C-alpha cells in the first residue's frame, strides 16, 4: 500500500486519453507532485532522454501509459513501429526506474497480449496459452514483454513493478482519426456523418460477428490509481467491465444513438480481428476493490455528445 498523495509521481502518456484522467484523479485525491513528460521534451525511445526525465522529475512512483496505438488498420500498416516503439519505451523506462531507485512502477499493457483463441472470459492464467491475433500481435507482444520484465526485475532486483491488462477503452476525448481510431469512435464518426448527410447505407468492416468488451475511460483511470496504491504482487491483473457485445449489435446501437436509420452492410473481406474478447475481472475486485461503474449506453451517449461538440 502506497500513500500516493505523499509521492513524486511521473505519468508517461499523462496528457493522453487515459493518462489525462489518471492525472486528474491523482491530483483530485491530493497528490501534489505529478509530473507529465511531453514527447516534444522527452523521446521515450531514447535512453538518454529517459535518464534525463528521471533526473528532472526524481519520481518515486512511475505510471507508464505512453504507447503507440491504433485500430486494426493502423496495426496492419505499422507492425514494426508498433512493436519497436512500445517495446523500447517500456524496457528503458523500467530499467531506468530500477537504477534510479523508484519505489513503484505500474506498467499498463493491453488485452491484445492475450492469445487469439482464449476461453471466454479471459483469465490472467491463460495469457501464455497461444499466439495473439495476427493483426495486432506485434503491439500485443511488445506490451506483454513489460510483464516479463516486471516479474524478472521483481525477482532479481526487488523492483515493485505491477502489470495491468485493460480492455478496449472509450469515452469523451477518444481518437476519432479514421486512419488510427478504434471501433467505437470510428463507428460514431461514420454513422453521425451518414445521418447528417441523409445517406441510406453505411458499410462496416468485417462480418459483425466478433465480440468486444469496452471500458469507460474514467473507470479505467480509477482502476490504475487503485492498483498503483494498493496492489503489490507479480501476477498480471485484468481491468475490464465484464461484458461482451458483438460488433453487429454495437453498430446497431451506435446507429440508433446517432440518428442513422439507413441500412448497415458488412464488408467481410476486411478482418474481424480477434473472434471474441471479454475479461474475467475477479482478480481486480479481490485485490484492490475495482469494479466498473459506468453503464455502457450512458458512456456511449457522453462520448457521442462530446464528439458532436468538439468537431
Q: What is the pLDDT along the chain (311 residues), one digit of tens a residue?
A: 899 999 999 999 999 999 999 999 999 999 999 999 999 999 999 999 999 999 999 999 999 999 988 777 887 899 999 999 999 999 999 999 999 999 999 999 999 999 999 999 999 999 999 999 998 899 999 999 999 999 999 999 999 999 999 999 999 999 999 887 889 999 999 999 999 999 999 999 999 999 999 999 999 999 999 999 999 999 999 999 999 999 999 999 999 999 999 999 999 999 888 888 999 999 999 999 999 999 999 999 999 999 999 98
Length of the chain: 311
d(CA 147, CA 131) in angstroms, rounded, equals: 16
Q: Among the options 42, 54, 114, 139, which is catalytic? A: 139
CA 175 to chain centroid: 12
CATH of 4-170+214-242+275-293, one of 3.40.50.970, 3.40.50.720, 3.30.360.10, 2.40.50.100: 3.40.50.720
pTM: 0.95
The whole-number pLDDT of residue 284 equals 98
pLDDT of residue 178: 85
In the numeric block, which cell numbers belong to residue 139?
Answer: 503491439
Give the distance between the most distant pair of CA atoms in the chain: 62
Which of 240, 199, 249 minimizes the C-alpha distance to 219?
240
139 an active-site residue?
A: yes
CA distances from 6 to 58, 131, 227 (A): 14, 41, 16
Residue 219: its pLDDT value, please? 98
**Residue 1: its pLDDT value, please?**
84
pLDDT value at residue 76: 87
Whole-number Å distance between alpha carbons of 1 and 227? 9
Give residue limits of the domains in the chain. 4-170+214-242+275-293
Amino acid at each position: 500500500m502506497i500513500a500516493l498523495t505523499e509521492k513524486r509521481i511521473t505519468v508517461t502518456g499523462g496528457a493522453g486519453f487515459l493518462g489525462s484522467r489518471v492525472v486528474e484523479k491523482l491530483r483530485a485525491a491530493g497528490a501534489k507532485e505529478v509530473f507529465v513528460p511531453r514527447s516534444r521534451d522527452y523521446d521515450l525511445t531514447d535512453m538518454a532522454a529517459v535518464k534525463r526525465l528521471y533526473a528532472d522529475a526524481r519520481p518515486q512512483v512511475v505510471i507508464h501509459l505512453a504507447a503507440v496505438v491504433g485500430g486494426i488498420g493502423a496495426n496492419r500498416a505499422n507492425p514494426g513501429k508498433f512493436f519497436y516503439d512500445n517495446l523500447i519505451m517500456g524496457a528503458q523506462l523500467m530499467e531506468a526506474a530500477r537504477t534510479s531507485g523508484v519505489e513503484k512502477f505500474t506498467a499498463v499493457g493491453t488485452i491484445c497480449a492475450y492469445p487469439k483463441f482464449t476461453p471466454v472470459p479471459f483469465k490472467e492464467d491463460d495469457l501464455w496459452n497461444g499466439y495473439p491475433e495476427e493483426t495486432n500481435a506485434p503491439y500485443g507482444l511488445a506490451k506483454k514483454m513489460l510483464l516479463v520484465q516486471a516479474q524478472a526485475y521483481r525477482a532479481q532486483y526487488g523492483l515493485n513493478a505491477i502489470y495491468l491488462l485493460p480492455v478496449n477503452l472509450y469515452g469523451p476525448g477518444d481518437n476519432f482519426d479514421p486512419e488510427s481510431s478504434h471501433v467505437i469512435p470510428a463507428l460514431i464518426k461514420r454513422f453521425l456523418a451518414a445521418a447528417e448527410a441523409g445517406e441510406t447505407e453505411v458499410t462496416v468492416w468485417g462480418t459483425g460477428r466478433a465480440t468486444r468488451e469496452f471500458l469507460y475511460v474514467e473507470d479505467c483511470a480509477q482502476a490504475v490509481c487503485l492498483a498503483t496504491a494498493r496492489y503489490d504482487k507479480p501476477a498480471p491483473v485484468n481491468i475490464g467491465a465484464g461484458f461482451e457485445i458483438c460488433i453487429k449489435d454495437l453498430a446497431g446501437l451506435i446507429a440508433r444513438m446517432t440518428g442513422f436509420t439507413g441500412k448497415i452492410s458488412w464488408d467481410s473481406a476486411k478482418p474481424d480481428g480477434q473472434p471474441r474478447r471479454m475479461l474475467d475481472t475477479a482478480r481486480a475486485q479481490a485485490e484492490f476493490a475495482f469494479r466498473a461503474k459506468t453503464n455502457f449506453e450512458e458512456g456511449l451517449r457522453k462520448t457521442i455528445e462530446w464528439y458532436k461538440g468538439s468537431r
